[in-house]
Structure 1
Amino acid sequence: MTLSIVSCKKKNTLKQENKTAAINKVLDSADLIFDSNKKDSAYYYYDKALSMSDPEKNPNQYVYSLTCMAEILQIEGDYTTSEDILSKAMPYIKKTTRPRYPWYAYNVMANNYDYTYDYNNAVLYHKKSLQYTASNLKKRASLNNIASVYINQKKYAEAIKILLPLAAKKEVFGNDPKISKRDYSIVLDNLGHCYYSLNDPKALYYYTESLKIKTELNDEELIMISHKNLSNYYLKIDPKLAKKYAELSYAKSFKIRSILNRSRCLSLLINCSEGSDLKKYTLKYIELMDSISDARQRKKNQFALIRSVSKKDRDENLKLKTQQFENELQLERQKNRNIISYIIIIFIVGVLLFLSFYLSAKGKKQKTETITKSEMRISNKLHDELAIDVYNTFAFAESEDLELNENKEQLLNSLENIYNRTRNISKENSSIITNEKYADSLKDMIADFKTPNINILVNGIDTIPWNKIDKNKKITAYRIIQELFINMKKHSNASLVSAIFKIIDQNVVVICTDNGVGVPNGKIILKNGLQNVESRIETINGTINFDANSDKGFKVSFTFPL
Structure 2
Amino acid sequence: MKRQLHFIPNKTILRHLILIQFLLLGGSIVLFQSYKNENPTKDNATEIKRLTDIADVLFDSNQLERSYVYFNKVKTLCNPKTNTIDYVYALTCMADIKNYQGDFITSEANATETLPYLKNIKNPRYASNVYNLLGINYSCTYDYNNAILYYKKSLALKTKISRKYMALNNIAVTYMNQAKYEEAKKILDILATQKKTSKDETISNNNYSYVIDNLGYCYYKLGDSKKAYTYLHSALEIRLKLPPQNMLIPSYQHLSDFFAKTNTKLAKTYAEKAYEEASKINDIHGMTSSLTLLVKNSEGSDLKKYTLNYIKISDSTNVARQKAKNQFSNMRYTSKKDKTENLQLKVQKAENELEIEKEKKRNIILYVIILFILALLTFLYFYLTYKARKEKNEAVYNSEMQISKKLHDELANDVYETLSFANEKDLELRENKDKLLKNLNIIYSRTRDISKENSTIVTNGNYNIALKEMISSFNTSNINILLNGLESISWNEVEDTKKVTIYRVLQELLVNMKKYSNATLIGITFKKTNNNVSITYIDNGKGIDLNTITFKNGLHNVENRILAIKGIVDIDSAPEKGFKVFIKFPI
Instruction: Provide TM-score, normalisation by structure 2.
Output: 0.51
Q: What residue number does 1:92 align with?
A: 117
Distance 1:326 1:305, change over 3 A: same
1:72 is aligned, of 79, 97, 101, to: 97
1:186 aligns with 2:202: no
Alignment of 1:157-556 (within 5 A): 157-171=182-196, 173-174=198-199, 176-201=200-225, 202-217=227-242, 219-306=244-331, 308-310=333-335, 327-334=352-359
Distance 1:312 1:41, change over 3 A: farther
1:131 aligns with 2:156: yes
Q: What residue number does 1:146 align with?
A: 171
Root mean square deviation of aligned Cα:
2.9
Alignment of 1:42-121 (within 5 A): 42-121=67-146
Distance 1:100 1:235, change over 3 A: same
Distance 1:292 1:139, change over 3 A: same
Distance 1:244 1:31, change over 3 A: same
Give ranges in structure 1 of 5+ residues lacking alignment.
1-16, 342-562
Other structure's SS at 1:46 match: helix
- CA apart distance, 1:264: 2.1
Cα distance in 2 between the residues matched to 1:339 and 1:298:
54
Q: How many residues align?
A: 324
Other structure's SS at 1:80 match: helix
Cα distance in 1 between the residues matched to 2:345 and 2:253:
55
- CA apart distance, 1:101: 1.2
Give ranges in structure 2 of 5+ residues lacking alignment.
1-41, 367-587
Does the Cα contact within 8 Å between 1:30 and 1:43 map onto a contact in 2? yes
Alignment of 1:17-28 (within 5 A): 19-28=44-53
Distance 1:186 1:339, change over 3 A: closer
Letter paired with 2:189: L
Does the Cα contact within 8 Å between 2:101 and 2:283 map onto a contact in 1? no
Deviations 1:214-243 (A, max 9, x none): 111154322232111111101011112212
Letter paired with 2:125: R
Cα distance in 2 between the residues matched to 1:315 and 1:298:
26
Cα distance in 1 between the residues matched to 2:48 and 2:292:
43
Cα distance in 2 between the residues matched to 1:307 and 1:177:
44
Cα distance in 2 between the residues matched to 1:320 and 1:240:
70
Query: Could you say which structure has the larger radius of gyration?
Result: 1
Deviations 1:29-85 (A, max 9, x none): 222211111122212222222222222222222222222222222222332233233
Q: What residue number does 1:356 align with?
A: none
Letter paired with 1:51: T
Cα distance in 1 between the residues matched to 2:347 and 2:166:
45
Does the Cα contact within 8 Å between 2:95 and 2:133 map onto a contact in 1? yes
Letter paired with 1:229: H
- CA apart distance, 1:173: 2.0
Letter paired with 1:204: Y
Distance 1:132 1:306, change over 3 A: farther
Distance 1:317 1:125, change over 3 A: farther
Q: Which has the higher contact order (CA 8 A, sep 6+)?
A: 2
Q: What residue number does 1:475 align with?
A: none
Cα distance in 1 between the residues matched to 2:340 and 2:136:
32
Deviations 1:3-50 (A, max 9, x none): xxxxxxxxxxxxxx9644543333232222111111222122222222
- CA apart distance, 1:99: 1.1
Other structure's SS at 1:217 match: coil
Other structure's SS at 2:289 match: helix
Distance 1:327 1:126, change over 3 A: farther
Does the Cα contact within 8 Å between 2:54 and 2:70 map onto a contact in 1? yes
Deviations 1:176-226 (A, max 9, x none): 422221111111111112112222212111110000001111543222321
Letter paired with 1:189: D
Does the Cα contact within 8 Å between 1:93 and 1:102 map onto a contact in 2? yes
Does the Cα contact within 8 Å between 1:127 and 1:142 map onto a contact in 2? yes
- CA apart distance, 1:340: 10
Letter paired with 1:36: S
Cα distance in 2 between the residues matched to 1:203 and 1:308:
54
Does the Cα contact within 8 Å between 1:64 and 1:101 map onto a contact in 2? yes
